[in-house]
Chain A
């Protein structure tokens, strides 16, 4: 009961701030730092504000959103819908030839396509249909669909099976691609695992991931429909096209994923309808702050990933010398585990709801992303006993597959470290 009252009070506190004519950002940060309630699309709006997309002046909100959403529509039209095939000759070797651009784009697209089809496989969300597909694209007889462009090289058997294409091929495949074969195989896999008595607990994470995959594929949907992963693919392609200096780097899918998910499940229909456009700009703003993690030539720069990793190492050293010594002695380098933690803002380490809770605090951190260092340090300190007793291999495994843990435990520890 008390908990209920707490939650209602929490929601009310947010609503009051969000109703202000000019939102007090500092107050909002303070509040959001302790977590944004899942209810009433609050998180979705708060993130839009903290990521500097929705202006703090209430009067400017509508018009800004309208303008940005129009702009996004224009991006889609200019970059994806309007261009026909390249106009000049395919053998034109000039670097500016539209064919050369087309082929280069396809390479980027191929990479994006591979990655969006392996985004958050442990939930079905990204494989399901969006309520608001891009109509010009989904009703184009497949012509405008991005994945169509790279289909030659990425079309998977699973896709073939789902869509019932190339039946003759499947029939003539010695059963390799028949559905029941796959089922047989996976049954076999489990029994083999059991027989061999392999560490079930340690595998559970990966099996959980793969189980959900066998039930749902990242297959393109029929004409008129569009899966959420296709929406993500479009946003990432537009981002790569509009930011040619940076392009697409693996892992960006893991950054855009949680933002899009939060926006696309908003309780407010209007916001849900524009989840794609809003997410695109929020992602762009977020990337402006963390893009250096994704740029190889900036690895050594003060904003680069190596500097972040050494900051983390320093933080551990300051707070738990014994653990730090142990990891040093084992030559357990920060890049073995924290490269991914930091680059992806922990999005591959925890389940989606937990990631969203962590991101409330990260986005609310006025000195972004100091608090990320404290969270990572807290994670290490919370498994210190295991690290102190484990050998190199078990410690790398532990940190690369961080055990499920109560988010608030980690966050409290991180706050504790930050105030020391």
Chain B
């Protein structure tokens, strides 16, 4: 069995209307690559990336979902296990922004109450095609008390930052729950000679 090469595992989920760029955002983050045309996501896709935050190795298990209504029964079953959800719209497409409310309702219905959320207005490199102002994005995020960022998977704007902020917010929560002594334990654990962790199996 493979040794556990990380300290924490965070499960993240990307949701939003079809064509807003969820797969592109994920691909930019995981492989630092961009392509304009992806085959459409059917059902659910999956990527892993390990990041380092505050001296901890965090393995991000990121699920990428299909946007169209038909796939909701499949995709909503992933909400429950998610610790962070990124809700993506396309700043050049009004409807994808209007649907944010619908997606938030979905999260309320299916996700854990304390799930960390973030709204991303993607394709912000396409300024001349913009129909949703940054202010409107900020307003809806403020209204729901959620983090917000405009991103571009194409021009690599804020992609890395969005994931680390979301991961950090989850880390804050996790850390808050742990006793102070845990910090010391983790420091010890990170030594090369650490004992095998309890949950070494599935990642």
The answer to whether A157 touches B39, judged by C-beta atoms less than 8 angstroms apart, is: no
- Chain B nearest CB: distance from A236 CB in Å? 13
A377-398 vs B, Cβ < 8 Å mask (1 yes, 0 no)? 0000000000000011100110
The answer to whether B32 touches A193, judged by C-beta atoms less than 8 angstroms apart, is: yes
Asked if A294 meets B70 with Cβ closer than 8 Å, knowing A176-B155, A218-B37, the reply is: yes
- B43 is contacted by which of A210, A213, A339 (Cβ under 8 Å)? A339
Q: Nearest CB to that of A211 among chain B residues?
A: B35
The answer to whether A392 touches B37, judged by C-beta atoms less than 8 angstroms apart, is: no
Which residues of B are found within 8 Å of A250, using beta-carbon distances? 18, 40, 42, 66-68, 70-71
- Bound CA span A193–B33, Å: 8
Interface SS of A by simple majority: helix
Interface SS of B by simple majority: loop
The verdict on A121 contacting chain B, using a C-beta distance below 8 Å, is yes
The answer to whether A189 touches B32, judged by C-beta atoms less than 8 angstroms apart, is: yes
Q: Nearest CB to that of A336 among chain B residues?
A: B44
The answer to whether A392 touches B128, judged by C-beta atoms less than 8 angstroms apart, is: no
The answer to whether B70 touches A118, judged by C-beta atoms less than 8 angstroms apart, is: no
B103-135 vs A, Cβ < 8 Å mask (1 yes, 0 no)? 000000000000000000000011011000000
A200-222 vs B, Cβ < 8 Å mask (1 yes, 0 no)? 00010011011001100110000
Which residues of B are found within 8 Å of A214, using beta-carbon distances? 35
Which residues of B are found within 8 Å of A156, using beta-carbon distances? 36
Which residues of B are found within 8 Å of A370, using beta-carbon distances? none
The verdict on A343 contacting chain B, using a C-beta distance below 8 Å, is yes
Q: Nearest CB to that of B131 among chain A residues?
A: A153
Which residues of B are found within 8 Å of A392, using beta-carbon distances? 201-203
The verdict on B193 contacting chain A, using a C-beta distance below 8 Å, is no
Within 8 A of A (CB), among B155-190: 155
- Bound CA span A117–B31, Å: 23
Which residues of B are found within 8 Å of A173, using beta-carbon distances? 128
The answer to whether A176 touches B92, judged by C-beta atoms less than 8 angstroms apart, is: no
Interface magnitude class on chain B: 35 or more
- A111 is contacted by which of B18, B39, B48 (Cβ under 8 Å)? B18
- Chain B nearest CB: distance from A108 CB in Å? 11
- Bound CA span A192–B33, Å: 9
Which residues of B are found within 8 Å of A253, using beta-carbon distances? 40
Asked if A296 meets B72 with Cβ closer than 8 Å, knowing A176-B155, A250-B42, A251-B42, the reply is: yes
- A117 is contacted by which of B33, B37, B72 (Cβ under 8 Å)? B37
The answer to whether B32 touches A340, judged by C-beta atoms less than 8 angstroms apart, is: no
- Bound CA span A193–B72, Å: 34
The answer to whether A249 touches B203, judged by C-beta atoms less than 8 angstroms apart, is: no
The answer to whether A391 touches B74, judged by C-beta atoms less than 8 angstroms apart, is: no
The answer to whether B40 touches A114, judged by C-beta atoms less than 8 angstroms apart, is: yes
Offer 20 A-B interface pairs, CB within 8 angstroms, sorted by A. Answer: A111-B68, A118-B37, A118-B39, A118-B40, A193-B31, A193-B33, A203-B33, A206-B27, A210-B33, A250-B70, A254-B42, A294-B70, A295-B70, A296-B69, A335-B77, A343-B42, A392-B203, A397-B46, A397-B48, A400-B45
| Pairs of residues from A and B, 9 with the lowest C-beta to C-beta distance, nearest first | A210-B35, A392-B202, A339-B43, A114-B19, A393-B203, A340-B42, A250-B68, A118-B37, A213-B37
